[in-house]
Amino acid sequence: MDGRNAAFILLIRPPEIFALVFFGLAVASSVGAKTFWKGWLSILIGLMIAVVGLDPVGGIERYDFEMPYLLAGIHFIPTILGFFAVSEIFVQAEKKVRGSYEAPKMSVDFPSVKELLAHKFAVIRSIVIGFFCGILPGIGATLAAFMGYNEAVRWSKTPEEFGKGKLEGVISSETANNAATGAAMIPLLALGLPGGALTAMMVGVFQMHDMEPGPLVFINSADLVWVVFAAMFFANLSIILIGFLETKTIVNLLRIPFQFLAPMILLLATIGAYAVRGLTIDVVVMFLAGVIGFFLRRSGYSVAGIVLGLILGKIGEQTFAQAMQMLHFEWGGFFDRPIALGLLIAGFATLGGSIYGAFFKKSKPKAVNTTT
């Protein structure tokens, strides 16, 4: 099994990763924004943020404004905290000031087996997305969750219901997240290639126990490999148990009045943003992203698209440069690789469908408005 996994992973090179990034950007542009154009503008904003710092190929300083802190680039964790957590605080605070704030209604209702079976296609789709995101270095579970959610919105007949606790959105994002976590072990164990910070830390732990990840790990350390598999299996079982028990407890946090809950959220977000790299600029970036995200959300832009543009932009730029060097700067080399070609075709098909839908829906509301 390890030989087949290694052979498949060896087919995933920088051209394939760049093609997947392009497909991910094409998908993200069509989700979360009021219009197609605002969706792509959101992606472009994220790509512009991604180029801040040193050029990964030539080490050229870009958009640092003579600030040494910006040479390290803008990390996506403070950006996520700002665009989602801090901007949501501002949105709720605005409702509080205008008198339109409503305390969230609390109830714990676990989905039934019938409801889960009704979303079986969403589960299968997210498993495939999470698997490919997991085996590709640098993609990770965070992007898998975003892409799983985006695909759920894109294929749904009622996309306007997402963002309000729709079960399909929760299932899609969490399934992709969990699938990516397990799939990340394939390149780690088969080739010794960590896909992210957590799997890189696992390499160090394995080496502490005289277990060297790679093609021979199933021969030299077969007993420890099966211990790892067993640990992952029981970890998933414990997550089910702990999640079941803690859900009824955590939901009570919503009972805390907003004027007390908001400062707690901001405090935890600030600690999280600073803890990533120990840089004060990350805290500043978080609050700036919160303010910008607040106004962008009011204008119908997609904050998720901005974050995906930031994350995928960094990965895409580096893998594109590696791919061009690998292909000797021949564009046709992308079309000679079946996986890369398939992903590029899927990306262009998604982009073409979004453009067609944008023009088609543009004329449809006008006809409805004239009759009313």
Record the pTM: 0.70
Average pLDDT estimate for 241-262: 80
Tokens, residue 260? 């007390």
Predicted pLDDT of residue 277: 85
pLDDT at 371: 40
Rounded to an integer, the average pLDDT of 142-165 is: 80
Lowest mean pLDDT among 43-52, 107-116, 140-149: 107-116
The per-residue pLDDT for 14 is: 83
CA dihedral of residues 46, 51, 52, 56 (deg, nearest 10): 140
Q: How far apart are CA 91 and CA 211, in angstroms?
A: 50
Burial of 221 (0-12, 13-18, 19+ CB in 10 A): buried
3-class state of residue 75 by DSSP: coil
Closest CA to 304 of 70, 82, 140: 82
Q: Is the pLDDT of residue 236 over 90?
A: no
Would you say 151 and 190 are in contact if contact means Cβ atoms under 8 Å apart?
no
Tens-digit pLDDT profile for residues 191-219: 666 666 677 677 777 777 777 776 677 77
* Structural domains counted in the chain: 1
Q: Is the pLDDT of residue 153 over 70?
A: yes
Predicted confidence band of residue 110 (pLDDT cuts 50, 70, 90): confident
What residue type is assigned to position 346 of the chain? A
Both tokens assigned to 55: 């050029």
Q: What is the pLDDT of residues 319-331, one digit of tens each?
A: 888 888 888 888 8
Query: Which residue range forms the structural domain that includes residue 354?
Result: 2-371
Residue 288 has pLDDT above 90, yes or no: yes
What does the pLDDT read at residue 297?
A: 87
The pLDDT of residue 138 is 61
More confident residue, 33 or 354: 354
Q: What is the mean pLDDT of residues 302-312?
A: 83
Query: Is 290 a residue whose pLDDT tops 90?
Result: yes
Question: Which one has a higher pLDDT value, 32 or 121?
Answer: 121
Lowest mean pLDDT among 176-180, 203-207, 255-259, 303-307: 203-207
What pLDDT sits at residue 338? 87
pLDDT at 287: 94
